Structure 1
């Protein structure tokens, strides 16, 4: 069988493209693999030839050293690929299928999966509910920033595209279905965005841009995006968003008042997470959460797809290292606001969003400025993304995306 190249965390803020084993239908030992998962048989799984796999801001948290990820961990949880091998127990997924893989790994058999809570599956991670490919403390499932990857529980999890040729024509949009598009949509949907809503989105990175586009799809009348980086705000304006440059305007409510005529919005979405910074670029991990509580109306909703962790070795103080943040929770309680946190249950959204893409109702690749690079260029992509460029990097391991 052919070899396999993959992107691995190499410490000191960097990644390396290296040779790794070709995937098997079993989880072998390796960096980050939970000892209780070693040797786990996956005849319910498939092996994919990776067509596209994206760099995510969550990956950057690990690469920056802001988690306990071990060196050598193969990265990547945003995966689209062609099935080249199926396990003995796979019944409905076939060789040659082109599929999107939810970043949540879910068995389909536990109580949470049956209830549609595939982001907190009880059977795939011995440490806690919920799992993902190529991510710290998520069970050790090998990441998909590679030429080939194994995907367990295939019949339950994967989204098969109905027409392979049509899918390849829209591959830059469809590659976003594994995480970023459902995550942005989840943030908007759980914040209660609906026809006519006014919405504030904290963060103009790829998830923030995906949330902004999703809010528009849900019928928002005005979408306001805040960020410290002007290039990212320009990208938000390119598809009809209002913007606030936080480095110039610390009082978000005042700026919202100038845009809307009132200092509050119906709904807000935190797409920044635990590495949030204030207007003077100082690290302030609770800054965004407190600001969106302040600027969201009484009875409004807060969607929080931004990542928060329980261990942050690079935090500025001991509380933040444990994920303990200084929140104005009394304000949120007094305003009777709703909060929805945690990983996105991708399977609740990916089929509908696929149809929106295939029928030209969603233009997510343009919204996030999808930018194709080769697998070998991954270190460059990580470096550029870390600098704050307004791009969503799509890795193309076999040149199949560029060939279109």
Structure 2
């Protein structure tokens, strides 16, 4: 049985690469595993040799100590891999397949899955609807920032790439299908982005840049990306985005400069989430409701707001008691008065990933270039976490087996 190593959360600001058990077709006890999930038999699962696994901003929330994640949790929910073993209940996925793994773990059997709401599957997490690999309060499924990982309900969850050689030529782009590309796309779709529309995207991290890529793919006329960090704004500008520096204050004045005097956009996307900082003089101060209120303010009446940015029900590091349980000072009256539509929650990855795969394979979506995908070996994962936390304008892709070849940088 091969050895297995993974990125392990060891407390606020601290991750290590450590040896863990090789996956088996049974969910065992461990850090974060819900007791009701212990002993679950997984004949429907596949074991993957991890080809690429990415560091996500959602992982950083845990590593910063802003969630109730337990020490010892194996991290990682953005996984691309090669199937090396399948359980007796797997019918269509085969050993040797190269696959993308949606970060949502879904059974394919419950009411929500049958309605396409795979982000809130009812059967994989005893705590609440919805699950993911290597994430706090998501049932305890072992994370994929590892050499090998188990993926349940393989026939349902895994997206097989149709041609291995062609896929490996685009592997950095395809690695974004596990989460950020569908998530950014979902933010834009739910915000109503379409041909000729103007779009404001709050946040120039990887999800924000993926949303900007998606907005262009959907036909937007102008895509504005807002952030506090120059390096991230430069990255957004590198592929045609207009940029809004919110450290300078309220974004409306800058939006008006882009839109010939019009201070409001057709569509807005919140790609920041609950660790938002203020604008202008408050740019160095955490203000968790700032972005939600800003996107309502800058969206025209009758418009829509997509909210793929993460908001939590438990934030022990919040600055006030209300925010610790996810209660924020949101200007709901403003949203109501403007008849805005809102969509929140996990992206249902399977709703989009096959189409986005085809867009990548047919050279319509250079997502790896746009998010500045940067390959690092597994041993450098702690360094990647630190650099990302300091605001590096990169999407770190971990290469556990050295399979990414010339993509290494």
Give the structure-2-normalised TM-score: 0.98
**Counterpart of 1:16?**
16
Alignment of 1:2-401 (within 5 A): 2-248=2-248, 250-261=249-260, 262-279=262-279, 280-401=283-404
State the Cα deviation string for residues 61-114 of structure 1 (Å, max 9, x = none).
Answer: 000000000000000000000000000000000000000000000000000000
- Using the alignment, how far apart are the partners of 1:327 and 1:278 within structure 2? 14
Check conservation: 2:80, 2:101, Cα contact below 8 A: yes
Check conservation: 1:396, 1:402, Cα contact below 8 A: no
1:282 shift after superposition: 0.5
- Using the alignment, how far apart are the partners of 2:25 and 2:405 within structure 1? 29
Q: Which runs of 4+ in 1 moved over 6 A?
A: none
Give the 3-state SS of the residue equivalent to 2:96 in structure 1.
coil
Alpha-carbon RMSD = 0.6
Q: Where does structure 1 lack aligned partners over 5 or more consecutive residues?
A: none
Check conservation: 1:79, 1:144, Cα contact below 8 A: yes
1:403 shift after superposition: 5.2
- Using the alignment, how far apart are the partners of 2:284 and 2:187 within structure 1? 25
State the Cα deviation string for residues 127-152 of structure 1 (Å, max 9, x = none).
Answer: 10000000000000000000000000
Check conservation: 1:372, 1:402, Cα contact below 8 A: no
Check conservation: 2:245, 2:251, Cα contact below 8 A: no
Give the 3-state SS of the residue equivalent to 1:40 in structure 2.
coil
1:238 shift after superposition: 0.2
1:402 shift after superposition: 2.4
Q: Where does structure 2 lack aligned partners over 5 or more consecutive residues?
A: none
- Using the alignment, how far apart are the partners of 2:339 and 2:362 within structure 1? 38
- Using the alignment, how far apart are the partners of 1:40 and 1:16 within structure 2? 28
Give the 3-state SS of the residue equivalent to 2:33 in structure 1.
coil
- Using the alignment, how far apart are the partners of 1:348 and 1:340 within structure 2? 15
- Using the alignment, how far apart are the partners of 1:21 and 1:327 within structure 2? 44
- Using the alignment, how far apart are the partners of 1:358 and 1:246 within structure 2? 35
Q: How many residues in Structure 1 have an aligned counterpart in Structure 2?
A: 403
State the Cα deviation string for residues 149-181 of structure 1 (Å, max 9, x = none).
Answer: 000000011000000011011000000000000
Give the structure-1-normalised TM-score: 0.99
